[in-house]
Structure 1
């Protein structure tokens, strides 16, 4: 990528090597029957959420409303202990991997059954209509060109669950969606910064596919509303929409595209008050000054909002949003039947 200097790459490399040495061990990898590389991570402790030292003191051109929303749903940070090792996909599930599932099982996605999916509509007059339901859109036709190496999109939470259940039966082990805690632990790879690449939002353009000059070249009105490093053609990464898996630098634990490309479904029901509940529980178990870690959190059992829909958590950001929305702690949500051209998923395999 033209915008990134050799010095930047060198500094990132030093940072990643330091993080790995602090962890004290290298994650191990294994390839499954679908050709998916799974990275085994040791369980451990970390702080989940936006840390006190951050409080969005980032160099973003974000509105006060945006800052308030992120501050509200990502705080307070609380201590987490993941008690077991687990393996997580090196990349998001690709088009070819999802196709193998469909061909073997005959499965029809929610979008295919409904005959429509939420797809990017750049010519919509109202910015709120940029993503609209489009007839015949699905993972096969997400509104832009993809090849087999791109992350599959227009996948609902239910579709992702069906994929995991099929793969579990195929291999005789348990595959599932990551919890929010497992996802953030894997994304951070031992870091405490806003991104695994550091605090500077500009660093994200080297490690993830986010809104940049490539999207701006096609649809300037969308990118002008977001923060980008530059808008000259030479500044773009060449991917206005999704990028092939492993197009950008991995984190210290060998995971790709945890910042950007597609939002990733998590197991958890979504609640904007969940972190407040968790820190209260952690303080009851310990003290206000030294809260006890929450062990293996899996999200709320239920909330009043779930009377109106099965809202599930999303992590990581996408090709359509700026670095602010792609931080390690960022949370979003969608209804479990929703299929958007900016949503995909990554899988976890349980280990003994």
Structure 2
């Protein structure tokens, strides 16, 4: 083979490999009618929940570890099998995308109907009063400036459901909120560490918008009571509140903002005893040492607490909390009507 023929063959091979890579990327990422990028997630197994309590405490000595919050609701970890592929939003639903839905339907959010939402009030003396119901607050006015590319906030679980139902009707494909299991599986992206970027809380500042030196410069007490390091002027990311989509590094599956920015609604009803129940069931199906994975957990059907409200799960942390509260396994909850300026949502699309 001549040198020229060899160069031509190598060029054609490189072109073929590039085209194959492009096709593979297209199979993993699709855009819907709203221009939302959806990432393909293949079925698989993982261990859900807090995986290494000892390591977690060692790495978070400068953080306020609250046993009643973290240990109780993230443990015990249990094995999960997701039996289906699905597509998950590459980013949280943005202001622009939510506006498109509102303008197409005339929809009024729960906050707009109530005439108020829970927004940040830094001048309140007590930490528990930092978020108060403020007249006129809603997704268009969450108490801080937002652009079209910021995550929509002051969104209730009902509002997120209405968005999914509208988009499903528009496209003839089922959109919904992720289950907690789907959310954590996508966030972890095959990892077993506290964050998809590792165990160290300092590593989170590159991948997520969390309470850091930027918020500390404005409201020091709100950050200092959560974490006491990395608060020098040069340590901040420039975002005191929410940040635009894709402002930070994605995980290895190409999904953004699963650590911080806004807490994200999940489909599941919330229960602080659910993990105990799931591990018990897994051991019954398998054994104590080799529990059988729980297939497609959906959350509890009901709990005694749901007699007093429709409590739904939240994942991912937000701009207001330090890295410890933004880990892959962290859980929180709110009532389905609640609209806070630190809550938004991400959607999934069922595999066709």
Distance 2:54 2:86 in 1: 28
What is the CA distance between 1:60 and its match in structure 2? 3.5
The answer on whether the counterparts of 1:60 and 1:324 sit within 8 Å (CA) in structure 2 is: no
Distance 1:72 1:337 in 2: 25
Q: In the alignment, what sits opposite 1:295?
A: 295
Q: In the alignment, what sits opposite 1:12?
A: none
Secondary structure of residue in 1 paired with 2:97: helix
Distance 2:109 2:43 in 1: 33
| Aligned-CA RMSD value | 1.3
Q: Residue 201 in 1 paired to residue 201 in 2?
A: yes
Q: In the alignment, what sits opposite 2:11?
A: none
What is the CA distance between 1:53 and its match in structure 2? 5.7
Please give the residue correspondences for 1:162-241 in structure 2 after superposition, counting only pairs within 5 Å: 162-227=162-227, 229-241=229-241
What is the CA distance between 1:223 and its match in structure 2? 1.3
Quickly say closer, same or farther: Cα 1:94–1:319, change in 2 above 3 A. same
Q: Residue 310 in 1 paired to residue 310 in 2?
A: yes
Quickly say closer, same or farther: Cα 1:53–1:235, change in 2 above 3 A. closer
The answer on whether the counterparts of 1:202 and 1:229 sit within 8 Å (CA) in structure 2 is: no
Q: In the alignment, what sits opposite 2:285?
A: 285
Q: In the alignment, what sits opposite 1:346?
A: 346
1:219-254 Cα distance to aligned partner (Å, 9 max, x none): 112111121542222211000000000000000000
Q: Residue 59 in 1 paired to residue 60 in 2?
A: yes
What is the CA distance between 1:56 and its match in structure 2? 3.1
Distance 1:144 1:63 in 2: 27
Distance 2:255 2:227 in 1: 25
What is the CA distance between 1:342 and its match in structure 2? 0.1
Q: In the alignment, what sits opposite 2:154?
A: 154
Distance 2:343 2:113 in 1: 18
Secondary structure of residue in 2 paired with 1:234: helix
225-234 vs 331-340, which moves further = 225-234
Secondary structure of residue in 2 paired with 1:56: helix
Q: In the alignment, what sits opposite 1:22?
A: none
Query: Which is higher, the Rg of structure 1 or of structure 2?
Result: 2
What is the CA distance between 1:93 and its match in structure 2? 0.2
Q: In the alignment, what sits opposite 1:9?
A: none
Q: What TM-score, normalized to structure 1?
A: 0.91
Q: Residue 328 in 1 paired to residue 332 in 2?
A: no
The answer on whether the counterparts of 2:263 and 2:344 sit within 8 Å (CA) in structure 1 is: yes
Unaligned runs of 5+ in 2: 1-23
Q: What TM-score, normalized to structure 2?
A: 0.91
Distance 1:52 1:209 in 2: 24
Alignment length, in residue pairs?
Answer: 327
